Structure 1
Amino acid sequence: MNSKYYLTEVDKIPKSIFCYHNAMGSSFIEPHSHDKGQFLYTEGGVVHVKTNTRMYYLPARHYMWIPAGVRHAIYPSSPKVIMRNLYFPIKAKATEFYKTEGIYHINKLVMELLLFTKNWNGDITKSQKTKYPIVHAFKTLLEQSVSQSLALELPHPTDSRLISITNYLSDTIDQEHLLPKLASNFSMTDKSLYRLFKKDLGLSFIKYYTQLRIFKSLEYLANSDYNISQIANMVGYSSLPTFSNTFSKVMGKRPSEYRKSNEIYLEH
């Protein structure tokens, strides 16, 4: 199939459900949008999905729903990442779930149906009596089985000063940054930098910075070359218990539990 399938093939037949499995994460997928809603599931690492307003961090064993018309680019964290995609026509009267970006845990039933479709690629239409009912049920099941969307995203700054500061935080993630020193580095007062984070991003500095560190650690946890103590240091934590406790608050499980659940499940 054309490697630019997402630009040329997905919307060719408006009423079809389009499947594309085994997309290995070796390359960046340029900004684009679809007339269909997209189910994106990943294994083996983290996928960054960048929209006009946010960067989403899609971890292994989770899926993201991307509504129709939402412009997005996809950055897999490593070539080991496997992405599986199903694209669905969405009616104007569809419920809020299908119109809203979100990241969700995948439950066993959805996983089993995804496993069932793993060898299907291309358009599936109503005339395909053995396949269409399954993928149509898959779409319905998403909404019925969904739990609350996970807050695995960071807003893009718009203020030029904050763009420089957040880029600096990302580039020096292995160091611990405190607000007073950070403000001083960028010739600002503590209060003005604190207010800038709240005004431009709607988040406090500490919340933004904490999430950035934990989201970055997801990528390292997918790489078995590093132990958890090393990963804590790589995202600026000098204390392993502090890292583990913070990770648990953000992700709902310990780093070791997350790493175990990251093993690739679907054959490819």
Structure 2
Amino acid sequence: MNSKYYLTEVDKKPHSIFCYHNLMGETFIEPHSHDKGQFLYTEGGVVHVKTDSRMYYLPARHYMWIPPGVRHAIYPSSPRVIMRNLYFPMSSNASGFYKKEGIYPINNLLMELLLFTKTWNGDITKSQKSKYAVVYAFKELLKQTVSKSLHLELPHANDKRLINIINYITEHLHQEHLLPQLASNFSMTDKSLYRLFKKDVGMSFIKYYTQLRIFKSLEYLINSDHTISEIANMVGYNSLPTFSNTFTKIMGKRPSEYRTSNEIYLES
């Protein structure tokens, strides 16, 4: 199926559940939206999902729920990334889970059902009773087995000054950035830069900067053979324990555990 499938195929049959397993390692899927809600699962790397207001970091062995009508672009971090998609028609009285964006770890039950569908592509309609029963059950299990959404996203900056500062930090992530020096580099006072972060992105400089570093380290953990100590340095940490503790606080597991738990399923 052509990689532009989502523009023409997903919503062609409004009442079908649409199945699309992308094993090709696309580098970019342009901004688009669907009338159906999207379940997006990934393994083999980190996928960046960019909406109008946020950049989400979807790590391997996790899934993202994207509600109907949410415009988004998808940037896989590596050609090794595998994405598995299911698109569901949604009623206006659907439960709250289906109405908000969220990133969640996948559980074994959902994983087994998802792999059961790995050879299916395209529309699955009610007339295909055995297949439809599986994907409909999958949709129902999403809300019943859901754990707490992981906050793996950063808001977009709107202020041009802050956009430039964030771009600078991102390009020099291997260096440690302290607020006073950063403010001085951009001819600002500490207080004015602190206020700019709070006003424009709704979080403090230290929280934004910390999450940016940890989210970037996810890519290195999955897509490279660098040691964890090297990765800590690559995102500006001079202390391995500090990096490891910060990573654990945000991701819920240590970097070494995260790396070993994200090996690719070979049944693709």
Q: Equivalent residue for 1:194? A: 194
Paired residues for 1:100-249 under 5 Å: 100-249=100-249
The amino acid across from 2:13 in the alignment is I
The amino acid across from 2:64 in the alignment is M
Q: Show structure 1 runs of 4+ deviating over 3 A.
A: none
Q: Give the stretch that moved more between structures: 85-94 or 218-227.
A: 218-227
Following superposition, the deviation at residue 266 of structure 1 comes to: 4.9
The amino acid across from 2:42 in the alignment is T
Q: Equivalent residue for 2:30? A: 30
Q: What is the DSSP-based 3-state SS (H/G/I as helix, E as strand, rest coil) of the residue aligned with 2:130?
A: coil
The amino acid across from 1:24 in the alignment is M
Asked if the contact 1:115–1:266 (Cα under 8 Å) also holds between the matched residues in 2, the reply is no
Q: What is the DSSP-based 3-state SS (H/G/I as helix, E as strand, rest coil) of the residue aligned with 1:130?
A: helix
The amino acid across from 2:72 in the alignment is H
Q: Give the stretch that moved more between structures: 240-249 or 218-227.
A: 218-227
Unmatched tracts of structure 1, length 5 or more: none
Unmatched tracts of structure 2, length 5 or more: none
Following superposition, the deviation at residue 103 of structure 1 comes to: 0.2
Q: Equivalent residue for 1:15? A: 15
Task: Write the distance in 2 (CA, Å) between the matches of 1:224 and 1:167.
Answer: 23
Q: Equivalent residue for 2:83? A: 83
Following superposition, the deviation at residue 95 of structure 1 comes to: 1.0
CA RMSD of aligned residues (A): 0.8
Task: Write the distance in 2 (CA, Å) between the matches of 1:62 and 1:19.
Answer: 18
Report the number of matched residues.
268
The amino acid across from 1:149 in the alignment is S
Following superposition, the deviation at residue 86 of structure 1 comes to: 0.3
**1:30-52 Cα shifts (integer Å, max 9, x gaps):** 00000000000000100000000
Following superposition, the deviation at residue 8 of structure 1 comes to: 1.0
Following superposition, the deviation at residue 22 of structure 1 comes to: 3.0
**1:6-45 Cα shifts (integer Å, max 9, x gaps):** 1111000000000001343332000000000000000010
Task: Write the distance in 1 (CA, Å) between the matches of 2:159 and 2:146.
Answer: 35
| TM-score (norm. length: structure 1) | 0.99
